[in-house]
Amino acid sequence: MSLSDLMLIERLLDEVEKPARYLGGEMNAIIKEKQPGDLRFAFCFPDTYEIAMSHLGMKILYDILNAQPHIICERVCMPWVDMIEGLRREQVSLFSLETRTSLHAFDIVGFTLQYEMSFTNILEMLDLGGIKQRNEDRGESDPIVVAGGPNAANPEPLSMFIDAFMMGDGESLIVELSQTVRTMRQTGARREEILYALSKIEGVYVPRFYEAAYNKDGTLACFSPNRQGAPESVRKRIELDLENAPYPTGFLVPYTQIIHDRIVLEIMRGCTRGCRFCQAGMLYRPVRERSLDRLYGLAEKLVQNTGYEEISLSSLSSGDYPCLEELIQGLMERFREKRVSVSLPSMRLDSLVKQSLEETSQVKKSGLTLAPEAGTQRLRDVINKGVTEEDLMRAVTDAFESGWSAVKLYFMIGLPTETQEDLEGIADLAKKVVDCYYRVPKQQRAPGLRVTVSVSTFVPKPFTPFQWFGQDDLETIRGKQAFLRDRLRIKGVQFNWHDAELSFLEACVARGDRRMGEVILAAWRSGCRLDSWREHFKFANWLKAFEECGLDPAFYANRLREYSEILPWSFVDIGVTGKYLQLEDERARAGIVTPDCRGDCQGCGLRRFEGVCTA
């Protein structure tokens, strides 16, 4: 970047609302001086700095890449509208936080795909960074654009923009991909040769080596490789040894407040519960745990190196960690004098223990979050939630008796087989939680009851037993939200709900095929960006984009799919088989619960992977 551009950036920082988003230089930031032969990797988060810096995956991979010789990793975040306008006005390229290097000057530009409604941000960042959006238009000197994360499980909606996708755990995969690119560029290999070499790496999908054909009704007729040697299916990467997997001991500490401003300690990865709506529960199998000694050691270094006063125990279901009480007690003992608190953000109702609550409340009480998901036991059995009303009542009673007064309850509407009785059950459960609070003796309970009921709309996700179901149409969703608004007018209860339109588009993109890329591009061209921010969401523009592309959004979101249909993501092997997902769907329709697979294999398919599943 030229001196004049650097001066322009300094001037822009004086104009924008939150300049700390673009400063860099945070505590524990890594700045490496480029040497001949070094590869530069831009780790791009397609949302604002506050969200990016709360993401654990970015912290892990940033640390791993910078620990490699001859690899430099720098961060690039989606700018806010004021900075976007300034960059375009001054004709300055989007730049990295560490050295203010233009995005187009990196060798690899990598995006993490955390949620579907960030996809227009990817196009915005590429355009701001001077990189051609369509992968077919990029030349030999352009960066290799890659992507990973949970939404890479169905890569097809972004297949016209991304050169290579990384499937599964990224710790070793991202290093292998980066080293391959570096080595081949040093030998003068052409772009096509580099991408072909990447396609040979387990866990990497290169869309240009595959073709899709469609039936007259719009469904997929076939999907197959168009180059000899490209694999028929792409198998995800699994980091088997989580105990010894790299983990940062010095998180970046921002100058401004971020969403999750604390130490995040990943205690385990994966979940064995098998909730039928949960994509993460299928994608991140099998369960792998870190030992107490490893976690204590990481916690001590992170507290020392960051100064944070809160440790969040992170996993899909922290209550299932077998040594949870011992871990909490050990952390509290180690950090009591430093007034470092421990929080449990993702607890199951049936694994919530009173002793853990009492331990974590000694230093600081934050809100307690529980997820019944459905209002009746019948529907909880359909979704295989595996918890009961008694579990919820016991959990909130334990919390209120331990000094909590703020409880958040998460539910979904539009779940398969949902009835009016299931909706009424949400309001009934909220009322019973309030009653639990008032049954605790007044001298024992904390003042100021706050029960927050948050309701999201069910989105059928790839690689779940419900991937074949259709989402409720918008009119039905809005009707259910209105019903709950009326029924949840209860003292002490606050009702929050997600935008129906946003959930509708999320379903369209989540279950989209290659043609969805044209819709995303048309939406971006019409001004869609920062779609997950309510004030910038342009639903009408999205509908117009579908119309321009000759596609019906209901085809993707609302349509019930047949088991025989080729799904856009069918070529990806996440370990869990389609046969197992179909069996679970059939069990759901019959209201049959599938038990936890710890110690009792349910045949999901992971045993095909050598050394993966020993349960």
Query: Does residue 339 form part of some domain?
Result: no
| HEC per residue, 512-562 | CCCCHHHHHHHHHHCCCCCCCCHHHCCHHHHHHHHHHCCCCHHHHHCCCCC
Phi-psi region of 202 (alpha: psi -120 to 50; beta: other; left: phi over 0): beta
Q: What does the block give as tokens for 463?
A: 């690689």
Please report the pLDDT score of residue 361 as a whole number.
52
**3-state secondary structure (DSSP) of residue 579:** helix
Four-point Cα dihedral 30, 124, 122, 87, nearest 10: 0
- Asked whether the beta carbons of 330 and 299 are under 8 A apart, the reply is no
- Asked whether the beta carbons of 370 and 349 are under 8 A apart, the reply is yes
- Asked whether the beta carbons of 235 and 203 are under 8 A apart, the reply is yes
Query: Does residue 458 form part of some domain?
Result: no
d(CA 553, CA 574): 27
Beta carbons within 8 Å of 256's beta carbon, 6+ residues apart? 18, 20, 21, 49, 50
Element (DSSP H or E) covering residue 44: strand 39-45
Residue 351 has pLDDT above 90, yes or no: no
The mean per-residue pLDDT over the stretch 484-506 comes to: 97
Share of the chain above pLDDT 90, in %: 84
Please report the pLDDT score of residue 357 as a whole number.
53
d(CA 116, CA 506): 6
- Asked whether the beta carbons of 24 and 77 are under 8 A apart, the reply is no
For CA atoms 549, 554, 557, 562, give the dihedral sign. Answer: negative
Least confident among 80-89, 100-109, 363-372, 384-393: 363-372
pLDDT band at 614 (very low <50, low <70, confident <90, very high): low
Please report the pLDDT score of residue 104 as a whole number.
98
pLDDT tens string 262-273: 999 999 999 988
Please report the pLDDT score of residue 113 as a whole number.
98
Residue 592 has pLDDT above 60, yes or no: yes
| CATH number reported for the structural domain that contains residue 99 in this entry | 3.40.50.2300
The mean per-residue pLDDT over the stretch 65-73 comes to: 97
Query: Does residue 95 form part of some domain?
Result: yes
The mean per-residue pLDDT over the stretch 177-199 comes to: 97
Domain that holds residue 22: 3-235
Crossing angle of helices 81-90/3-15, nearest 10°?
150
Give the CB-side neighbour count of residue 474, counting CA atoms within 13 A.
Answer: 13
The mean per-residue pLDDT over the stretch 213-235 comes to: 96
pLDDT tens string 173-183: 999 999 999 99
Please report the pLDDT score of residue 348 as a whole number.
56
- The closest of 291, 276, 184, 167 to 241, measured between CA atoms, is 291
pLDDT band at 344 (very low <50, low <70, confident <90, very high): confident
Residue 363 has pLDDT above 60, yes or no: no
Please report the pLDDT score of residue 398 as a whole number.
87
CA angle, residues 124, 57, 146, in degrees to nearest 5: 45
The mean per-residue pLDDT over the stretch 246-269 comes to: 92
Please report the pLDDT score of residue 354 as a whole number.
54
Please report the pLDDT score of residue 5 as a whole number.
80
Query: Does residue 577 form part of some domain?
Result: no
Q: Which residue matches tokens 């869309």?
A: 207
- Asked whether the beta carbons of 383 and 276 are under 8 A apart, the reply is yes
Pairing of strands 39-45, 71-77: parallel
Query: Does residue 550 form part of some domain?
Result: no
The mean per-residue pLDDT over the stretch 162-171 comes to: 97
Element (DSSP H or E) covering residue 119: helix 119-128
pLDDT tens string 442-464: 988 899 999 999 999 999 999 99
CA angle, residues 131, 207, 112, in degrees to nearest 5: 60
Residue 124 has pLDDT above 60, yes or no: yes
Query: Does residue 200 form part of some domain?
Result: yes
Residue 583 has pLDDT above 70, yes or no: yes
Alpha-carbon distances of 312 from 225, 302, 327, 403, 577, rounded to whole Å: 44, 12, 12, 19, 33
Query: Does residue 565 form part of some domain?
Result: no
Please report the pLDDT score of residue 278 as a whole number.
95
Query: Does residue 351 form part of some domain?
Result: no
d(CA 522, CA 78): 19
Beta carbons within 8 Å of 31's beta carbon, 6+ residues apart? 98, 99
> Cα 358 from chain centroid?
30
Crossing angle of helices 389-401/420-439, nearest 10°?
30
603 CB neighbour count, 10 Å cutoff: 11
Q: Share the mean pLDDT of the chain.
A: 93
Number of domains in the chain: 1
d(CA 131, CA 196): 21
- Asked whether the beta carbons of 97 and 24 are under 8 A apart, the reply is yes
Please report the pLDDT score of residue 3 as a whole number.
75
d(CA 242, CA 254): 27
Please report the pLDDT score of residue 607 as a whole number.
84
Crossing angle of helices 191-199/173-186, nearest 10°?
150
Partnered with residue 255 across adjacent β-strands are none
Please report the pLDDT score of residue 259 as a whole number.
85
Edge-to-edge strands of the sheet including 406-413?
A: 368-373, 406-413, 450-457, 493-497
Residue 80 has pLDDT above 60, yes or no: yes
Q: What does the block give as tokens for 566?
A: 């080729």
Residue 386 has pLDDT above 80, yes or no: yes
